[in-house]
Amino acid sequence: MQVAVIENVLKANDELAARNRQALRAAGVFALDLIGAPGCGKTALLEATLPLLRPLRVGVIAGDLATQRDADRIAPHAAQVVQVNTGRGCHLEANHVHEAMQRLRLNDLNVLFIENVGNLVCPVGFDLGQDVKVGVFSTAGGDDKAAKHPHLVHAAQLLVVTMSDLQPYVSFNFSRFDEDVRRLNPEVPVLRVSARTGEGLPAWRQWIFDRLDRRAPAATATQPARVVG
């Protein structure tokens, strides 16, 4: 019985995620689901990234159990921000994103970052309607975290290792991390970045723009003005 209940929950989630995806595509919005541990630097990465994406218009849905601190930090840099508080919920589900989307003017956005609840496990299994999942790790979090979280490494279209400026002070071995990643997902790119020094941010920005360029020509051709903000 428990299995049946969980299957129904996931099925309902997937149906709503499909509707989110349809609405985002119709509005020409490219959506990234950022998944990483609490404290891996997701919000700091967004604070550093958003100014680099101009003239794109960027929205952010920030998920946390409590507080609206992430939304407050991101607000100065984003066109639109919605904070979702999940209470005891350990991940965002499609219905959280669906509700948040009702509070966004999607037609005024080019990119939507969904900053998931800080958690390397539970968010992986829930489709939100995003275009890509980005796995976020930090040097301070240790080079063993890819191996310990194979499902995220499998599911992600990109992995970002934050806090590269801390590497001299922590024992993070990039070769070891890369080896674990390759074993689990030979294709996924890995970017090293530092929100503090700016290292790697141009490559991260470029990855996002490349993805936008690769979108269905119909979608971009009919809405060329949107990218000019």
Q: Which residues bind its own copies (CB under 8 A)?
A: 1-2, 5, 9, 37-40, 64-67, 69, 88-90, 117-122, 125, 137-138, 140-142, 144-145, 147-151, 163, 165-166, 169-170
Nearer to its own copies, 150 or 229 (CB): 150
In angstroms, give the least distance from the CB of 176 to its own copies.
11
In angstroms, give the least distance from the CB of 189 to its own copies.
21
Nearer to its own copies, 145 or 192 (CB): 145
Nearer to its own copies, 27 or 191 (CB): 191
> CA 81 to CA 50: how far, in whole Å?
12
Residues 6+ apart with CB under 8 A from 200: 164, 191, 192, 193, 194
Residues 6+ apart with CB under 8 A from 13: 93, 94, 95, 126, 127
Angle at 98 (CA atoms; ends 5, 149), nearest 5 degrees: 60
In angstroms, give the least distance from the CB of 30 to its own copies.
27
Nearer to its own copies, 4 or 228 (CB): 4
In angstroms, give the least distance from the CB of 34 to its own copies.
15
Is residue 217 packed enough to be buried (19+ CB in 10 Å), middle (13-18) or exposed (0-12)? exposed
Nearer to its own copies, 28 or 123 (CB): 123
Nearer to its own copies, 64 or 93 (CB): 64
Nearer to its own copies, 108 or 199 (CB): 199
> CA 90 to CA 119: how far, in whole Å?
7
Is residue 3 packed enough to be buried (19+ CB in 10 Å), middle (13-18) or exposed (0-12)? exposed
> CA 122 to CA 193: how far, in whole Å?
24
In angstroms, give the least distance from the CB of 40 to its own copies.
7
In angstroms, give the least distance from the CB of 64 to its own copies.
5
Residues 6+ apart with CB under 8 A from 139: 161, 162, 163, 164, 166, 167, 170, 172
In angstroms, give the least distance from the CB of 122 to its own copies.
5
CA 216, distance to chain mean position in Å, is 21
Of 102, 107, 115, 128, which is closest to residue 57 (Cα–Cα)? 107
Two tokens, residue 126: 């829930």
